[in-house]
Amino acid sequence: MSQARILVAEDELIVGFDLCETVEEAGFEVVGPHRDISSAMLSFQKDKPDLAILDVKLDDGIVYPLAEKLADEDVPIIFHSGQFTRQEVAERFPEATTLMKPCPPNEMLEAVTKVLQA
């Protein structure tokens, strides 16, 4: 069985690398961190991930257009935000999981495992 591919879009460099390292150490293949929507979109178009972890606000805007394309392709999403509440995200993406920053690594990994098993 192959590793699940997880796309990470996060504009805060330290948070992005920490998140990628956490997920990779848990045995997943990580693509990213992408700091902007355009690079994350290009990555998604090249190779569809099994899951996406998205900060809501990236360097070039709000990530919702990318999230809509991922959702259209049945790619589950975990939003990881410090600026948008769960309720704000759920209004637009009710099926997505939302974790608030700062999110401890064990909570992120629990969410990743839960979403991939759904």
Q: What is the pLDDT of residues 21-62, one digit of tens each?
A: 999 999 999 999 999 999 999 999 999 999 999 999 999 999
Spell 60-86 as b/e; 16+ CB within 10 A means b.
eeebbebbeebbeeebbbbbbbeebee
Asked, as a colleague might, if the bond just before 76 is cis with ω within 30 of 0, I would say: no
pLDDT for 84 equals: 85
Give the type of residue at 50.
D
pLDDT for 118 equals: 87
Asked, as a colleague might, if the bond just before 49 is cis with ω within 30 of 0, I would say: no
pLDDT for 1 equals: 46
Question: For the residues 2-7, what does the mean pLDDT come to?
Answer: 91
Put the strands of the sheet holding 97-100 in their side by side order.
29-34, 5-9, 51-54, 77-81, 97-100
Q: How far apart are CA 10 and CA 31, in angstroms?
A: 11
Confidence of residue 85 (pLDDT cuts 50, 70, 90): confident
Confidence of residue 106 (pLDDT cuts 50, 70, 90): very high
